[in-house]
Chains A and B, each alone.
Chain A
């Protein structure tokens, strides 16, 4: 058999690695800033671009798409070439992929602080960037599948299946969830409303964790862990079962983010059942990873790469046990909306993704630069700082989450809330927020030490951009008597199609009935579309990221109806494009805040939250008092919403600004009776109009009945 000569492309891997390290440091620094803002609100700098509501999405996007994303591409492009014995399909596509992805990150870093956001978590970017993401993602897919098609290895190793599933699923998730109607170049409304929007969003949100943070990294685990340990994976058979069961079950579990909300009960239960089932494939994968080291544990003591990977896989095991437990409704009733969830996510993010990336980098760079790691001692220091960082991050937040939740639910003997003032439950846990920032600081310090170590390593070696390789060409031959799955492993396109079917089933079964069956979202006659002024106010609420800290979802618990009022009903959200239920209560729920306080209260509170709530950690919003509402956008907003089903009458956009001014003038008049002077076109007026409307529609009906 004649050997073919070719070269592996290491340069593209190098570029993705550099981007990983840079954006990793930036993303962690932004995260640390956000963590500090929670106990020193002065670090919001009274500047709209740096408030927590805008910094937090910047942090999550930087970590998920820039840090974890770039590392994923580096790892995939390195391992793919070697597993298939082929150079990447097309160099031009590789570079379009690289620079396109970095441009998307740059666009995110500019638009998010500017307040251009859809408010949907991990899908905050506005529609032009969404389109760019879809295009670049497809470029990545073509490059990967193209490489698979010109391979010199007959069968696809299990890591590649995980890469294929990642590509297919993220494409589907991103496109379905990003459906929106544009109003301007950087403003759009989600195509879905209320409950349906929530279901689509958390189908996306949950599976973004599954198929952006988990499956590609499982693929990387199946390649880099055996490489680092220099022994094959514990059980290849287990990895086959692991793959199919994981991708099939994961896709169903999204509704566990919406337990006790207005989502129909059957969908909640389906989400719970599949979340519990997820333990099996997750732990199958984790054990497969850990047991690969059987007989090699002595090397874990010496090799920093293995140390990082062992902790990564262990963190994966802990997070995937905790996840199903949090999906049980009784546990979720305590944990949801608290810092417990933040801790849970960071065990996965810092532990699984972060440590897997660090391990991979410590392994890759000495090899690609043909040298030895500059300092094993520094790598060990990084390992311990990182591990301590995770512990200092997670434990205080577990504590904070449980303490705060119990305080929310505590009643006195007489049957009143023990802590009727929400703020009391916040000030109680501020020391925990401080400790959490210490954890984040340790973790970041470790990452800085790693950067120094890796740069020194690279400088001591010579980078090999084109690595020589040789392998016999794949000959055409007939196969007799092989199993049907081996056939699949030779047929990447069929394989991709099957993976697609597997992930579509769960999503479709949950979503189609919610969209189709009217009884799933009972309508309420008194619920009306927002007035033009309220609509502008709502868009300010979205822009400032209020939903990052405030929920709009009163769950049907006595502790919540006592504190906030009537629990939230599905029919109240039918005109909410997008839904703004939120996922975390750093401040109180706002769904029933309408008409609870006078206009002047909101006015003073937004100007200086501590004037109304001493000790509040909410940032001040002084710019809302000088910036004005753009009336030119009103008509466009109304007709966009009408297109997607909000029943504004024909021609309403022409009189909308008139109505807007009337409503604004009334608010200004009421404020002036409290000796407050403000222009009627100030943004604060629109925001007050929206806040005063929140959750009041059902009061109209009970007054009339």
Chain B
């Protein structure tokens, strides 16, 4: 079935490496973003389920 399509692709063996690299960079970017992100935004997000006016974290 789809085996034949895979066999027809040249240099298919680098695909896993490329995809892993992409994910790794995504993840590093994610970590950097998470550490730098605006406190106000996080505060707003974490209070979303509570349906109350945004207050500062009570502890």
Contact = CB atoms under 8 A, between A and B. Distances in A.
Interface of A: 79, 82-83, 153, 155, 157-159, 179, 191, 222-223, 226-227, 230-233, 236-237, 240-241, 244-245, 248, 294-295, 482-486, 498, 501-502, 505, 508-509, 512, 515-516
B16 A509 contact: yes
B6 A233 contact: no
A155 B26 CA distance: 20
A233 B49 CA distance: 9
Contacts, number: 85
Contacts of A484: 29, 33
B37 A505 contact: no
Nearest to A158: B45
A237 B34 contact: yes
B6 A241 contact: no
B20 A241 contact: no
B50 to A, nearest CB: 6
Given A236-B45, A485-B30, A509-B20, 11 more contacts: A191-B1, A226-B49, A226-B50, A236-B42, A237-B42, A240-B34, A241-B31, A241-B34, A248-B27, A501-B19, A509-B16
B14 to A, nearest CB: 12
B57 interface: yes
A231 B1 CA distance: 52
B19 A82 contact: no
Interface in B39-59: 41-42, 44-51, 57-59
28 contacts: A82-B51, A159-B49, A191-B1, A226-B49, A226-B50, A227-B50, A231-B58, A232-B46, A232-B47, A232-B57, A233-B46, A237-B37, A237-B42, A241-B30, A248-B23, A295-B59, A482-B41, A483-B37, A484-B29, A485-B30, A501-B19, A502-B23, A505-B16, A505-B20, A505-B23, A509-B19, A512-B6, A516-B7
Given A230-B50, A295-B59, A483-B36, A157 B45 contact: yes
Q: Which 7 interchain pairs have the tightest Cβ spacing? A: A232-B46, A236-B46, A157-B48, A509-B16, A505-B19, A485-B33, A483-B33
Nearest to A238: B34
B43 to A, nearest CB: 8
B42 to A, nearest CB: 5
Nearest to A644: B1
Contacts of B1: 179, 191
Interface in B1-40: 1, 3, 6-7, 12, 16, 19-20, 23, 26-27, 29-31, 33-38
B35 to A, nearest CB: 8
A191 B27 CA distance: 35
A57 B6 CA distance: 35
Nearest to B16: A509
Nearest to A509: B16
A248 B20 CA distance: 10
A227 B34 CA distance: 24
B49 A227 contact: yes
Contacts of A231: 50, 58
Contacts of B57: 232
A236 B47 CA distance: 10
Given A232-B57, A244-B30, A485-B37, A515 B3 contact: yes
Contacts of A505: 16, 19-20, 23
B33 A155 contact: no
Nearest to B1: A191
Nearest to A295: B59
Contacts of B12: 512, 516
Interface centre among B12, B33, B36, B58 (most CB of A within 10 A): B33
A441 B20 CA distance: 47
B37 A79 contact: no
Nearest to B44: A155
Nearest to A226: B49
Contact of A153 (B19, B20, B48): B48
B49 A83 contact: yes
A233 B29 CA distance: 23
B6 to A, nearest CB: 6
A375 to B, nearest CB: 27
Nearest to A225: B49
A230 B36 CA distance: 27
Given A505-B19, A515-B6, A486 B41 contact: yes
A485 B31 CA distance: 10
Contact of B27 (A236, A244, A482): A244
A245 B23 CA distance: 10
